[in-house]
Chain A
Amino acid sequence: MVEEEGFRRYVAHIILWIGIAIVAFPVYIAIIASTQDNALIANGQMSLLPGGHFFEVYYQTIFVGTSGSTREPVGNMMLNSLVMALLIAVGKIAISIISAYAIVYFRFPFRMPIFWIIFITLMLPVEVRIYPTYKIVADLHMLDSYAGLSLPLIASATATLLFRQFFMTVPDELLEASRIDGAGPLRFFWDTLLPLSRTNMAALFVILFILGWNQYLWPLLITTRDDMQTIQVGIRKMITTTDALTEWPIVMATAVLAMLPPVFVVVAMQKLFVRGLVETEK
């Protein structure tokens, strides 16, 4: 056993490195391809080493856009995606923490039926209810707007359930102590529950931001104007399947740019995120 220890460690490490290589290689290719000349890629002669067009390609991608299918600068697309993802993440957290608060701490008529209705919506993702949702957004004249992009995705059963579970682990005595300390429902929510939910909110924010950032179907449906395009939709539009030549360096640069905000959010909030998932200390 003891002699095997070193050997086993090497095997484990080799397997892990193979895993990392498999995951990382496409990302590497994307980064490399975004610095190459388009003609080289089109010929299938792409080198695995960085090319010399880094600044030129990224400048064009961010500020100019492709010359073909969608002429929107990717910078603008990123802004759209960022606004949408932030609205969705913040909106979902705000709505669901409030509804969970109502469900856990207040006794009102039809409390449990309402809870179950929220629960059932878990089984109805956007794709299933996409026609009625589209109709409502269209009737409210919210097509091609940030409101239209984010509002329908904000109501969230998952986050409501998560906060409900968390609130139910908060000792009742905290509420009672607050009542004796003269804190009304709003004060208790603001002074005690919100600070205690901080790590949960951070974990949810990471998950929901990425979820919002990666939306494809819904933005595709309700945005028609190029300047309201999100980056995920934009990438797809850049890849032409007709006779025009796809500008691969720009596509790849866009893909790399699309990766950055989620990576940034995860790295920035990693500590809180992990604590939010594992912490039980009250």
Chain B
Amino acid sequence: MGSLHLPCVPTNPHSPFPTRYSPVQSMANVTLRNVRKTYPGGFEAIKGVDVDVGDGQFCVLVGPSGCGKSTLLRMVAGLETVTGGEIDIGGRIVNQVEPADRDIAMVFQNYALYPHMSVFNNMAYGLRNRGMKEAEVKTRVDEAARVLELTPMLERKPRQLSGGQRQRVAMGRAIVRQPKVFLFDEPLSNLDAKLRIAMRVEIRKLQRRLNTTSIYVTHDQLEAMTLADVLVVMNGGQVEQVGNPLAIYEKPATTFVASFIGAPPMNLMSTRADEIKSQLGGAGEAGILGIRPEDFVITDQTPAGGIALPLTVEAIERVGAETFVYGTRAQDEQRVAATPGELPPGEVIVRIPGSVAPPIGQKIRVAAVRAKLHLFSGDGRTRLGA
């Protein structure tokens, strides 16, 4: 598994968190061993998941809706029972432990702030329930409020706050607890696009500063790529691939991962099509060939060992810095295994820099070099070659 080494910043004099926030207080690896969830009706939501999140790492669970990522997170939180396997937080098996005693804090998608309590009380509630002294509660809440720029709003009720402010209160409620693990359940999906990006950066900065092990659920692959130390791609209750986000992007293990990570999705085509078969030679009998839109170049040459495809331009999308060219291949082919994000058969997306694009209807030739080709087995479940 690829893991980023996090720089430790425990004694930054400008850090808003004094020593008690220092990351050395507790090691908190989160380890899932063959975790399963079967609902009473017999539906298997999680089909045996193994994930290992190192201390201080930021793990992102990503997948399409219904893939079980939220269920898995809620199992770590203790809000869902575990029907098989083990969940280990900081060296302790927590399968039977109440959520409050797992030393975790969770940020919900709809924030789940207590509507009748002030911002201060929302953050203080969990601390008071643990019998913490009021002076200490106040210190911690004030500190968190300062970091999150909520100090002027401490006496307001959640309904008097904007979406972004509520989100920050939810974060504040999590960090005052100084838990071993932060759990985020799609915390940004209720925000507008601009704020989402700003908060994404904030969350990452905060997590680095606190150096607290975090598990973050999202369906947004961009969020997943930018936040994760460890990315876990899930589909149908199973882990498709675990690893460093860039490693996953560069070497997706299955066609599902290939089409889910990266936007627009990777072009997938059957190697049975004559034009591809002849160019690939012996490699990838009856398999699937994947090429990312950005790896294509419009050229008349065919790179050695690479592949060239004749296309007819069908549509152009200009977004300023780059342009997407939608083309169809000259000849139709059999449909490749159905995966989310898949293009209609025969359609290829090419991403070119700038805004100069061939006119619609023109026949062009695109090519990709050998190193940028991804070959998968016919069922899309196995990556062939390196």
Binding site for B on A (CB under 8 A): 171, 173-174, 176-177, 179-183, 187, 191-192, 195-196, 198, 281-282
Question: In whole angstroms, what is the CA distance A183 to B100 when docked?
Answer: 8
The 26 sampled A-B contact pairs (Cβ below 8 Å) are A171-B112, A173-B110, A173-B112, A174-B114, A176-B77, A176-B106, A177-B106, A177-B112, A177-B173, A179-B99, A180-B100, A180-B104, A180-B105, A181-B100, A181-B129, A182-B100, A182-B129, A183-B125, A183-B129, A187-B129, A191-B125, A192-B114, A195-B116, A198-B116, A281-B159, A282-B115
CA–CA, A105 to B115, complex, Å?
19
Asked if residues B98 and A173 are in contact (CB atoms below 8 Å), the reply is no
Say which residue of B74, B110, B126 sits within 8 Å of A181 (CB atoms).
B126
List residues of chain B with CB within 8 A of the CB of A281.
Answer: 115, 159
Residues of B within 8 A of A183 (CB): 100, 125, 129
| B21 contacts the other chain (CB 8 A) | no
**Contact status A177-B100, CB under 8 Å:** no
Q: Which residues of A contact B78 (CB under 8 A)?
A: 179-180
Cα-based distance from A173 to B108 in the complex (angstroms): 7
Q: CB-CB < 8 A to B116: which residues of A?
A: 192, 195-196, 198
Q: Contact at B115–A180, with CB atoms within 8 Å? A: no
With an 8 Å Cβ cutoff, the count of chain B residues facing the other chain is 24
With A179-B99, A179-B100, A281-B159 in contact, do A171 and B110 touch (Cβ < 8 Å)? yes
Say yes or no: A176 contacts B79, CB within 8 Å. Answer: yes
Task: Determine the distance from Cα of A191 to Cα of B115 in the docked complex, in whole angstroms.
Answer: 11
For the complex, what is the distance from the CA of A282 to the CA of B115, rounded to whole Å?
A: 7
B125 touches A180 (CB 8 A): no
Residues of chain B whose beta carbon lies under 8 Å from any beta carbon of chain A: 74, 77-79, 98-100, 104-106, 108-110, 112-116, 125-126, 129-130, 159, 173
| Secondary structure call for the A interface | helix
Q: A179: which B residues are within 8 A, CB to CB?
A: 78-79, 98-100
Task: For the complex of A and B, list the 10 residue pairs with the smallest distance between their C-beta atoms, beginning with the closest.
Answer: A181-B126, A173-B112, A182-B100, A182-B129, A177-B112, A195-B116, A173-B108, A179-B99, A180-B99, A176-B79
Residues of B within 8 A of A187 (CB): 129
CB contacts (< 8 Å) of B99 on chain A: these are 176, 179-180
Cα separation A211 to B159 with both chains bound (whole Å): 35
| Given A179-B100, A180-B79, A196-B116, 8 extra CB contacts under 8 A | A177-B112, A177-B113, A180-B77, A180-B126, A181-B126, A181-B129, A182-B100, A183-B100
Of all chain B residues, the one with the shortest Cβ separation from A177 is B112
A198 nearest CB neighbor, chain B only? B116
Given contacts A181-B100, A281-B159, contact A176 B126 (CB under 8 A): no
CB closest chain-A residue, reference B179: A180
A187 to B125, CA, bound (A): 11
Residues of B near A181 (CB, < 8 A) are 100, 125-126, 129, 173
A138 to B115, CA, bound (A): 47
B117 vs chain A, min Cβ distance (A) = 8
When the two chains form their complex, are residues A182 and B130 in contact, meaning their CB atoms are under 8 A apart?
A: yes
Which residue from chain B places its CB closest to the CB of A194 in the assembled complex?
B116
Complex Cα gap A22–B375 (Å) = 87
Chain A neighbourhood of B109, CB < 8 A: 173
Q: How long is the Cα–Cα vector from A176 to B100 in the complex, in angstroms?
A: 10
B110 nearest CB neighbor, chain A only = A173
CB neighbours of A191 from chain B (8 A) = 114, 125
Query: Do A176 and B114 touch across chains, with their CB atoms under 8 A apart?
Result: no
CA distance A198 to B115 in the complex (A): 12
- Residues of chain A lying within 8 A (CB to CB) of residue B126: 180-182
